[in-house]
Structure 1
Amino acid sequence: MLLEIKNLHVKYGNVEALHGVNIQVDEGEIVTILGANGAGKSTTLLAISGLVSVTSGQILFRGDALHRMSADKIVRAGITQSPEGRRVFSTLTVRENLNLGAFTANDPGRVRKTLGWIYELFPRLEERREQLAGTLSGGEQQMLAMGRALMANPKILLLDEPSLGLAPILVRTIFDTVREINRSGVTVILVEQNARVALKLAHRGYVMEVGNIVLADSADALLSDADVQNAYLGGKK
């Protein structure tokens, strides 16, 4: 098993956001986490990344305790995140944003190779490499956020709402690229409001409600589950 979350609790002040979450991710999978706003999906990703403190429970990456590591050590261990809302550095160029994603790398040759691969995945970024990130379209900024996360050559890529605010044709492009990234050997954990697209992409899925995992199954099984259809897929199609 590549990643295991065991009985995870997270609090924001006196409010508990996660109430004993259990998730397992095997190497090579795309695993999606579904749920309404406020269910705890993003908090789960932030806990994996070391960006929120764990109250109790464990996050294990190949048996190592991520919940005891700082955020930069988690990146060095092989886990990076493309955050909700993209959060690119708007006053820096595309190339400068990508270079920041490689801040943990110490092999210039590998950085160049990775940059070339990202430009193959996202040709638009190469075209815009000297353009300020703040002047990019929403879709281009999403590509940049994903490319920046990939610059560290992660074993696991965390994607938080990659389709948010994008036109349908761009959503298709982004998810086709996620599939290609996964085929290259990167395991993906995907938080996504577009449940139907996410489940068609993923191998397995978890459904969260108010800080709890309430359902876990293969993506195909979740797609055909009547409760999931009614709650997240707009009824049976």
Structure 2
Amino acid sequence: MFLELRDLHVKYGNVEALHGINVHVDEGEIVTILGANGAGKTTTLMSISGLVQPSQGGVYFKGKALHEMPSHAVVREGITQSPEGRRVFGTLTVLENLNLGAFTSNDKARIRKTRDWIFELFPRLLERKDQLAGTLSGGEQQMLAIGRALMGDPKVLLLDEPSLGLAPILVKSIFETVRAINKTGMTVVLVEQNARAALKLATRGYVLEVGRVVMEDSAANLLANTDVQDAYLGGSGH
């Protein structure tokens, strides 16, 4: 199994955020995780990244137990995250932010090659490379957050709400870029409020409700499912 969450329970103090979820992601897929605010979507990604520890169950990547590793070791295994809210370092330049994403690598030639590829994906970042990240627009900061995650040369890219707060035209552009990234063979796990756009992009999807997986299916089936339409897509077929 490529990436697997087995019977994953996560607690914050006495509050259980995830109640034994099972999720698997095959190599080369885009898998989306849908659900209302507070459903446990971000917690799921943070569990994969090693930023929160499970109280029970575990996260496995190619048979290795990620939940037993510190988060920087998870990055070395090939899993990076573009966090919700972008979290770029505002007082550093675009270039400095990108270089921070490559902190686990000493291979200068590979770092340069990855950076050139990111500038191809996001030409705007090349134009702004010497600008402070805090002065970028929301859309540019989102490009930078994804670019920074890609600098780690991941096998799995975790994206947390990449379309949040962006204009529709930018959302379309970000999703097209995610598709291009996936076409290189990179696996993507996408948490996204924009359920329709996420399902059009993804191979498969999971629906979380209060820390439990209530549905798992192909993205096409979830798009066509009336319960999903009513809950997340604004009514049947509209």
For Structure 1 versus Structure 2, the TM-score category normalised by the shorter chain is: over 0.9
Q: Secondary structure at the match of 1:227?
A: helix
State the shift of 1:58 in Å. Answer: 1.3
| Alpha-carbon distance in 2 for matches of 1:154, 1:185 | 11
| Alpha-carbon distance in 2 for matches of 1:135, 1:109 | 29
| Alpha-carbon distance in 2 for matches of 1:168, 1:236 | 22
1:56-89 C-alpha deviation (Å, 9 max, x unpaired): 1010000000000000000000000000000000
Match of 1:105 in 2: 105
RMSD of equivalent CA atoms: 0.4
Q: Read off the aligned partner of 1:187 and give its amino acid letter.
A: T
Match of 1:182 in 2: 182
Q: Which runs of 4+ in 1 moved over 3 A?
A: none
Match of 1:212 in 2: 212
Match of 1:66 in 2: 66
| Alpha-carbon distance in 2 for matches of 1:152, 1:57 | 27
Q: Secondary structure at the match of 2:103?
A: coil
Alignment of 1:133-172 (within 5 A): 133-172=133-172
Match of 1:92 in 2: 92
Q: Secondary structure at the match of 1:31?
A: strand
Give unpaired runs (5+ residues) of structure 1.
none
Give unpaired runs (5+ residues) of structure 2.
none
State the shift of 1:173 in Å. Answer: 0.3
1:186-223 C-alpha deviation (Å, 9 max, x unpaired): 10000000000000000000000000000000000000
Equivalences, count: 237
| Alpha-carbon distance in 1 for matches of 2:122, 2:236 | 34
The TM-score with structure 1 as length reference comes to 0.99
Match of 2:47 in 1: 47
Q: Read off the aligned partner of 1:162 and give its amino acid letter.
A: P
| Alpha-carbon distance in 2 for matches of 1:36, 1:150 | 27
Q: Does 1:202 pair with 2:183? A: no
Match of 2:79 in 1: 79
Q: Secondary structure at the match of 2:53?
A: coil
The TM-score with structure 2 as length reference comes to 0.99
Percentage of identical aligned residues: 73
| Alpha-carbon distance in 2 for matches of 1:185, 1:151 | 16
| Alpha-carbon distance in 2 for matches of 1:174, 1:22 | 28
State the shift of 1:2 in Å. Answer: 1.1
| Alpha-carbon distance in 2 for matches of 1:21, 1:80 | 21
Match of 2:223 in 1: 223
State the shift of 1:185 in Å. Answer: 1.1
